[in-house]
Amino acid sequence: MDVDAVVGERGWATRAELLGRISARTLSTWVTGGRLVRVQPGVFATPAAARRWRVRVAAALAGRDAVASHGTALALWELVPPPAGPVHLTVEDGRSARGSAGVVVHRNSRACTDRRRVTGLPVTSVERAVVDAWGSPAPPSRAEVRAAAITAVARRLCRPADLARELAVSIRVPQRAQLATLVGLLADGCRSELEIWGCTHVLRAPGMPAFVQQRRVTVGGRTFVLDAAYEEAMLAVEMDGAAWHGSSRQRESDIRRDSLLATVGWQTLRFSYRRLTGDPQACRRDVLAVYETRRRVLRGDGVR
């Protein structure tokens, strides 16, 4: 008999499913001979499938009223690579939290209230996964969870308000204040680590003027989103990532964009990753100088 055909295209099956197709003796022979691998109690997979991370997650969930959570959920949402170590699941309070080899089970009264599905697997919401993983000592690291939160908001998988609401009801999260600060910056409009750095070390430094983030400007039917905008000076500040804005194609796109914005009165200041992080004080001086000059010009005071 063909093992792959019996197991099915997903690569794994429960013992009950297999015994509906083959005898218990055949199942035992296949396991003994290495043609099937027991990946969880009562769950078997082909050797090739057993090496796949998603199969391990699916096998861990089989037969449980649970959701993938913590770093496992973030990986299913494709916000972090599949983390090393066990699969993490969460069940409702009152249910058994007994795990098994390679599976850690958490209990929470809100485990399934925000159940989602990713590639057919039950999983917690993105915001819940971020908060759970932030407070967990298991992989992914806190830096990876931070990056996942920023990416999730940028991809619109969740909103900063969703993260804030989840954090508000999770009162025992280690280093909660750090996560709250990050959520606040995301709520203000930061969409990358560079924007967070620029806001905290340059644009929000003492003596700097107020600005708005993610300001939309429409020119000739095209809408652009400004990293930071000083409305009264019609000054835009753009923070250019080292990789993306370093390409010749992107530089040409930036020039066209800045030229179009100039036709409706906006001047753009661009700071590279190296300059922004290497000399924030000089960046602050440049912003202030152009800001004050622009304000005088727009007021009609002239420039001396």
Digit-coded pLDDT (tens) for 265-304? 999 999 999 999 999 999 999 999 999 999 999 987 654 4
Give the confidence band of 96 by pLDDT, cuts at 50, 70, 90. Answer: low
Within 8 A by CB and 6+ apart from 225, the residues are 214, 215, 216, 217
Mean pLDDT of 187-200: 92
The percent of residues in the chain predicted with pLDDT above 90, rounded, is 78
Q: Where in the chain is the domain with CATH 3.40.960.10?
A: 193-299
CATH class label, 193-299? alpha beta
Contacts 24+ apart (CB under 8 A), 179-187: 179/131, 179/134, 179/149, 182/146, 182/149, 182/150, 183/149, 186/149, 186/150, 186/153, 186/160, 187/160, 187/161
For residue 243, pLDDT over 60 is answered with no
pLDDT at 236: 97
Average of per-residue pLDDT values in the chain: 91
Give the confidence band of 84 by pLDDT, cuts at 50, 70, 90. Answer: confident
Residue 240 burial (C-beta neighbours within 10 Å; 0-12, 13-18, 19+): buried
Give the confidence band of 251 by pLDDT, cuts at 50, 70, 90. Answer: confident
Task: For residue 215, give Cα distances in angstroms to 95, 116, 149, 188, 245.
Answer: 48, 32, 21, 11, 20
The percent of residues in the chain predicted with pLDDT above 70, rounded, is 95
Give the confidence band of 132 by pLDDT, cuts at 50, 70, 90. Answer: very high
| Rounded-to-integer distance, Cα 261 and Cα 216, Å | 11
In sequence order, what are the beta bridge partners of 86?
none
Mean pLDDT of 173-182: 94
Residue carrying the six token digits 């909103």: 159
Q: Which is more confident, 174 or 301?
A: 174
For residue 100, pLDDT over 80 is answered with no
For residue 244, pLDDT over 60 is answered with no
| Rounded-to-integer distance, Cα 70 and Cα 231, Å | 41
Please choose, from the candidates 227, 209, 208, 218, the residue with its C-alpha nearest in 3D space to the C-alpha of residue 268. Answer: 227
pLDDT at 249: 81
One-character DSSP codes across 175-187: THHHHHHHHHHHH
pLDDT at 97: 66
For residue 246, pLDDT over 70 is answered with no
CB atoms within 10 A of CB 304: 5
pLDDT at 223: 95
In sequence order, what are the beta bridge partners of 286?
none
pLDDT at 121: 95
Apex 29 CA angle, 25 and 34, nearest 5: 150
pLDDT at 171: 83
For residue 111, pLDDT over 80 is answered with no
Q: Provide the 8-state DSSP code for 168.
A: H
